[in-house]
Amino acid sequence: MKALTFDPARNDLPCFAAAAPRFRDGSDTPRAFLERCLERISALEPAIRAFVWLDPAAPRAAADAATARYRQGRPLSPVDGCPVAIKDIIETVDMPTQMNSPIFKDWQSGRDAASVYALRAGGAVILGKTVTTEFAMAAAGPTRNPFDHTRTPGGSSSGSAAATGSGMVPVALGTQTAGSIVRPAAFCGAYGFKPSHAALNIGGVHPLSNSHDTLGTLAGSLADAWLVARHIAAVVGGTPPHPGLQGPTDLPAAQAPRTLIRLETDGWKEVDAATRDALDAAIGKMAAAGAAILDRRNTPEVEQLERMLQGVAETARVVSTFERRWPYLDYATRHADKFSKAAAERVEASRHITAAAFQTALDKQEALRRAVADMAALADGFVTLTASGPAPVGLDHTGSRSFQIFWTLTAAPCITLPRLAVSGQPVGLQVLGFRDRDAALAGLAHWVDQVTRP
């Protein structure tokens, strides 16, 4: 099938939050909503290949049960009847969790991850499993970008991004250890929400780096990205001892900022003129709407932060590589022949990072986290690109991490908005907040989404 055409002004993607009132008044049903998703999957999935496991029978039964509850006026929760796709490093009791690795071919854990449990408890419709890169760190899967099938969808939440950006499902779960929620969301024209670290319970998600692994949502609407994340936290909390994501059940109202900080970061040298112009235009709209914009040229404190951000990709690499010793060294011992070359190289690298180097990286990480927190005295949040340009051509490389990895290192939340287009391809606009102030970030992102809409 021909690739889709990206329009940053589009509003045709399925939105569960918008449909739920119609379920209550009987003018629509969860089963009809699901069937529209399945119809789109049938049309697009052969070319995009977002799913690794999809059996409509169980989702249809779950949607029928939700339909009956709405007719009785007794929905289980705000996500009752919402179709959700699950990244295939997240455990599901009724489907394999295979990590895009032959080591786990057809493997089932016998339980749901905490997030999936929370969704099922609220009546959500677990639609299927989406493609991930190998263990969310190495070899890419078969998924293609919805807007150009020769381009990567990004990774590692490749299938979740392609499925939501193409409108096959309203919302999907993803994970981020470097850039794996917001980068593929940007490349695929979806919304991506990486909450504060540990704000969503990561139990039952295959580990990569305890300091950085973060569960989040990708969606066709900001409302659904927030709604599903907030529900998960309401049921199972955060990753202990974090109490979990806080805030209203529904997307916070748009909150106009007084001041925003524009960040360039190490990724700026990768950005072409067209992408810079697109960002400039978006920030110009924010300024015209009343936001004061600080940057490294007009504010010494921002210049100091930019200097601290130089080279942080190496800091993040040291932390995450050291932390992946288990279980990957065990896999390498027993299943070396089932690793891709890229995975084998990453696991071997973990043997050579010393405890002293790890501690030095942790100290740098903590210093950066304090510096970012201090910026709350100057501004309501930050804006930058989500990626250095459109998705690269080719399916083997999932794109640069320069504009994502630094905020994962801070443990603070970020949201990417599908509001920029370059050469007809989506490039995300990234809004960044302060740690454990996710609701404030959502309100800010809501405002940015409104004022930058073409």
Name the residues annotated as catalytic: 87, 156, 180
- On whether the CB atoms of residues 441 and 209 are closer than 8 A, the answer is no
Q: Residue type for 102, please?
A: P
Segments of 27-82 assigned E as strands: 51-54
End-to-end CA gap in the chain: 28
Cis bond before residue 327 (omega within 30° of 0): yes
> Residues 6 or more apart from 305 whose CB is under 8 A from it?
261, 263, 371, 372, 375
What element of type H or E holds 337? none
Of the candidates 24, 26, 35, the residue with the CA atom closest to the CA atom of residue 59? 35
Residues near 252 by beta carbon (within 8 Å), at least 6 away in sequence? 226, 439, 440, 442, 443, 446
DSSP 285: H
What b/e string do you get for 118-145 counting C-beta neighbours within 10 Å, with b at 16 or more?
Answer: bbbbbbbbbbbbbbbbbbbbbbbbebbb
30 and 23 in contact (C-beta within 8 Å)?
Answer: yes
CA distances from 249 to 2, 31, 77, 225, 334 (A): 38, 23, 10, 11, 45
Q: How far apart are CA 421 and CA 441, in angstroms?
A: 23
Residue written as token pair 């288990």:
326
* Dist. CA 332–CA 324, nearest whole Å: 12
Strand order through the sheet with 381-385: 51-54, 125-130, 83-87, 171-176, 214-219, 191-194, 414-422, 425-432, 381-385, 259-262, 292-294
CB 249 within 8 A of CB 227: yes
Find out whether the peptide bond into 156 is cis, omega within 30 degrees of 0.
yes
Helices (H), 49-81: 57-71
Q: What is the dihedral of CA 244, 218, 272, 316, to 10 degrees?
A: 40
Residue with tokens 């190289």: 345
